[in-house]
Amino acid sequence: MSGCEARDAKKLVRSLSGLRMVPEHRSARSPFGLDEPPWVPDKECPRCMQCDTKFDFITRKHHCRRCGKCFCDKCCSKKVPLPRMCFVDPVRQCAECALISQKETEFYDKQLKVLMNGATFFVTLGTSDKSELMVCRLSNNQRYLVLDGDSHYEIEIVQISTVQILTEGFTPGEKDIHTYTSLLESQHITEGGNTRAIGMILQYKVPGSEELTQMKFTASEDFSSNKKLSASWLAAMHKATKLLYESRDQ
């Protein structure tokens, strides 16, 4: 088992918002993680920030655990899982946040597992014209992309600067700009649509170097049975990219 697969020690902490199971060291936290928001101070919110009802002894205020804003019970009644903040139990959230968290539950229940199970791709490093058949998967601690073939690579997720998903019918170049997702340089995110994903170009920093390394993943044409698996892995990666973008934007 390589270093990147080490199970990071976790501890139970109690915050204002509830019990959380977090890594012992902050450096070991998941790249998909979000920090708990600061709570809007009680004295700054005399009224519900959604329906404007005035708070008093009967109408009590509640803070949404995801956005930290202040609401009445009616506007902040839903308890929804919030794995990105490491909460052990579902926590109280406003309607808007509850909707986002519910959508993310799908990522945690499905796509994250797809990414961890891995898929097979032809991998090309830099501008090399040689490619290698490799199994690509997300490490159990969610912090590395692990590639296994004749060679072995571990790419730290936080070092990835751009993810470009390539779709059927488009060759890499200007035409696939609609699927371009930049994490650090651009605020612009567009959907790839319903076309099947057939590859991905990653740009990432290797520790100790300021220059970006590029790696291209191509779904294998020869292994037709794996094609569907590769496509769902890439779709999951696309979704993961959006979550990473939000985490960094925080």
Binding site for Zn ion (CB under 5 A): 48, 50-51, 64, 66-67, 72, 75, 94, 97
Q: Which two tokens stand for residue 144?
A: 């590395």
Give the residue with the Cβ less far from Zn ion, 49 or 212: 49
101 and 90 in contact (C-beta within 8 Å)? Answer: no
**Does the CA dihedral 6-9-15-20 come out positive or negative?**
positive
**Cα radius of gyration rounded to whole Å, the chain:** 21
CA-closest candidate to residue 178, choices 187, 189, 169: 189
Quote the least distance from Cβ 87 to Zn ion, whole Å.
14
Alpha helices of the chain — where are they, by DSSP H? Answer: 95-106, 112-117, 224-249
Q: What is the DSSP string of 56-119?
A: -SSS--EE-TTT--EE-TGGG-EEE--GGGTBSS-EEE-HHHHHHHHHHHHIIIIIHHHHHH-E
Cα three-residue angle 140-142-144, rounded to 5 degrees = 95
Q: Which two tokens stand for residue 182?
A: 């930049």
CA atoms of 64 and 95, how far apart (whole Å) = 9
